[in-house]
């Protein structure tokens, strides 16, 4: 069972589409007969990805378009939207998936902060602002899928720029879905993809073999498609290390820091480790 928008002839735009989750999603869309636009940086990487997506498509080679842009640049997104409309007539599925993850620190270089937030957060906001008005104007059903992260919900110590960017994606996508359901009658819906530990170029860190605890991008995309079909907004993916039940405990504990007036990030506080362990054990 697939979401009704994911059908032959529909048009999907996937940012960060040349590797990882984005590439596999593009292949899945193509295999369903969608026309697919993959967006990324790196001409060679894009060319190889386009070949894979074309191989997955039952249609013509011209049904797959690869475009190199920087999603943090609004002018480039606007030019992309014009190109897609001219080529395919419009967009039915927008997957704002482009993301980077160089390490950052609270007092670290500003360039690292700007790079992560410009791509991971502004890329999603501006991608939505550029493409979704045209999707609304078409009057057709549509899908917007924004790739977040569990790190944007439980915000563990380390790499704060990445956590903040993904927390922003969560908040923006919630606001976007509220806007869409009150203005389009649910014909266009937004969804937040929340991957677990997925073995991609972003998480490989020099490893060539998938760690046992990680999911593959294929598993993640299959899970996403299943839950899009079910109408889920929060697509909270497990992995081979963390079951959904543990994710739920971690999320509830993080929210409890505010409600219970605990120190922030108390899961990692020396005075609360035992309390968190007991909380996880409770039914």
CA-to-CA distance for 259 and 18, rounded, in angstroms?
42
CA-to-CA distance for 212 and 205, rounded, in angstroms?
15
Q: What is the mean pLDDT of the chain?
A: 95
Q: How far from the centroid of its chain's Cα atoms is residue 119's Cα? A: 12
Residue 2 in domain: no
Report percent pLDDT > 70 for the chain: 99
Same domain, 213 and 263: no
pLDDT of residue 76: 98
Same domain, 115 and 43: yes
CA-to-CA distance for 135 and 76, rounded, in angstroms?
18
Same domain, 112 and 202: yes
Residue 1 in domain: no
Where residue 209 falls among pLDDT bands split at 50, 70, 90?
confident
Same domain, 98 and 178: yes
Q: In the 8-state DSSP scheme, what is residue 17? A: T
pLDDT at 186 over 90: no
Residue 5 in domain: no
Residue 280 in domain: yes
Q: Give yes or no: 272 in active site.
A: no
Q: How far from the centroid of its chain's Cα atoms is residue 26's Cα? A: 13
Same domain, 68 and 82: yes
The string of pLDDT tens digits covering residues 43-102 is 999 999 999 999 999 989 999 999 999 999 999 999 999 999 999 999 999 999 999 987
Residue 31 near residue 58, CB atoms below 8 Å: yes
Same domain, 113 and 250: no
Give residue 103's domain range. 11-241
CB burial string 200-228: b at 16+ within 10 A, e below: bebeeeeeeeeeeebbbbebbbebbbebb
Verdict on whether the full-model pTM lies above 0.75: yes
pLDDT at 206 over 90: no
108: domain CATH number is 3.40.50.720
CA-to-CA distance for 143 and 13, rounded, in angstroms?
11
Residue 69 near residue 39, CB atoms below 8 Å: yes
Same domain, 58 and 121: yes
Same domain, 145 and 273: no
Alpha helices in 9-73 (DSSP H): 20-31, 43-56
Residue 37 near residue 13, CB atoms below 8 Å: yes
Same domain, 127 and 234: yes
Per-position DSSP letters for 98-130, written without gaps between them: --------TTS-HHHHHHHHIIIIIHHHHHHHH
Q: In the 8-state DSSP scheme, what is residue 216? A: P
The pLDDT of 146-170, averaged and rounded, is 97
CA-to-CA distance for 23 and 3, rounded, in angstroms?
19
Count of structural domains, the chain = 2
**3-state DSSP assignment of residue 172:** helix
Same domain, 87 and 165: yes
Q: 29, 162, 234, 272: which one is catalytic?
A: 162
Where residue 9 falls among pLDDT bands split at 50, 70, 90?
very high
Residue 127 near residue 150, CB atoms below 8 Å: no
């Amino acid at each position: 069972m697939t979401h009704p928008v994911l059908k032959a002839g529909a048009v999907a735009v996937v940012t960060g589409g040349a590797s990882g989750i984005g590439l596999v999603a593009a292949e899945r869309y193509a295999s369903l007969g969608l026309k697919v636009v993959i967006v990324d940086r790196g001409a060679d990487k894009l060319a190889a990805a386009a070949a894979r997506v074309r191989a997955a498509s039952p249609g013509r080679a011209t049904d797959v378009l690869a475009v190199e842009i920087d999603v943090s640049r609004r002018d480039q997104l606007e030019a992309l939207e014009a190109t897609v409309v001219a080529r395919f007539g419009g967009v039915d599925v927008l997957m704002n998936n482009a993301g980077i993850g160089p390490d950052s620190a609270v007092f670290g270089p500003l360039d690292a902060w700007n790079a992560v937030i410009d791509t991971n957060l502004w890329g999603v906001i501006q991608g939505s602002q550029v493409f979704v008005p045209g999707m609304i104007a078409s009057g057709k059903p549509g899908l917007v899928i924004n790739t977040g992260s569990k790190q944007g919900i439980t915000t563990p110590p380390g790499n704060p720029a990445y956590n903040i960017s993904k927390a922003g994606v969560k908040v923006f996508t919630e606001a976007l879905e509220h806007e869409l359901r009150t203005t389009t009658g649910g014909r266009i819906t937004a969804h937040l993809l929340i991957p677990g530990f997925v073995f991609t170029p972003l998480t490989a860190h020099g490893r060539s073999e998938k760690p046992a605890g990680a999911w593959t991008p294929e598993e993640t995309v299959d899970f996403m498609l299943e839950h899009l079909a079910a109408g889920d907004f929060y697509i909270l993916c497990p992995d081979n290390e963390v079951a959904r039940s543990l994710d739920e405990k971690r999320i509830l504990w993080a929210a409890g820091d505010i409600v219970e007036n605990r120190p922030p990030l108390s899961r990692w506080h020396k005075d609360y480790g035992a309390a968190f362990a007991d909380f996880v054990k409770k039914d």
